[in-house]
A = this chain, B = another copy of it.
Amino acid sequence: MAARERIIEAALATLQEEGYAQASARAIARTGGFNQGLIYYHFDDLDDLFLEALDLTSRRRLERYREAVEGCRTASELVAALKVLYAEDLAAGHVAAVQQLVAGAARSPILGPGIVERVGPWIDYCEEVARRFLAGGPFESLVDPRDLGFAVVAYYMGIETLGHLAPERSRADDLFETAARFASLFDSMGS
């Protein structure tokens, strides 16, 4: 792996395991087993590096979402796939990385706009999926797929904020069950 990629991987892992406040150049260098001077040779500052780390995890997860959702034909299949993908988001540390950077945005002028820029492709993707599932169905004229895409991403981020503030209260499983009941209704309306 090239030095640049090694640094990005180490930054992502440090962010996930130690949190934004602890992810110093020293901590990242220790995680990756390289000299801390290497970081500043390749990146202007740590927030630049963290945004590249966000790019990395975001690209990986988006690819997985595309792959898993592509074959879904009904809303029920979609909800079942999303439940698995969400569990993966947690297990892969993707959620932790996003939460840490959102929290860090309070201390950095470039993180906030940088995160939102990277949320953009997710809104686009959710819009694309919404468009596919709404097409020809009873809600097509009621819902703008773009609004729905934004709403889904906002909802996801809200769950993360609440979950981050009080991890023990996560109700994601209950919510997927409710979504599954709706999906089944939606599927029956479309047929």
Please choose the segment from A74-82, A88-96, A177-185 that sits at the chain B interface, where 4 or more of its residues have CB less than 8 A away: A177-185
Q: In this assembly, does A115 line the interface, its C-beta being within 8 Å of a C-beta of chain B? A: yes
Query: Given the interface contacts A103-B105, A106-B103, does A162 sit within 8 Å of B157 by beta carbon?
Result: yes
Closest 8 CB pairs of A and B: A158-B158, A103-B106, A154-B158, A116-B166, A157-B158, A112-B165, A155-B155, A116-B165
- Chain A window 156-191, contacts with chain B (Cβ cutoff 8 Å), 1 for yes, 0 for no: 111111101110010100110110011001000000
Tell me how many chains of this kind the complex includes. 2
Please choose the segment from A9-17, A39-47, A60-68, A145-153 that sits at the chain B interface, where 4 or more of its residues have CB less than 8 A away: A145-153
Docked complex: A1-34 residues within 8 A CB-CB of B: 19-21
Q: Which residues of A does B touch, CB under 8 Å?
A: 19-21, 100, 102-107, 112-113, 115-116, 119, 142-144, 146-148, 150-151, 153-162, 164-166, 169, 171, 174-175, 177-178, 181-182, 185
CB of A119 to closest CB in B, whole Å? 7
Residues of B near A146 (CB, < 8 A) are: 174
Task: Name the CB-closest residue of B to A159.
Answer: B154
When the two chains form their complex, are residues B113 and A147 in contact, meaning their CB atoms are under 8 A apart?
no
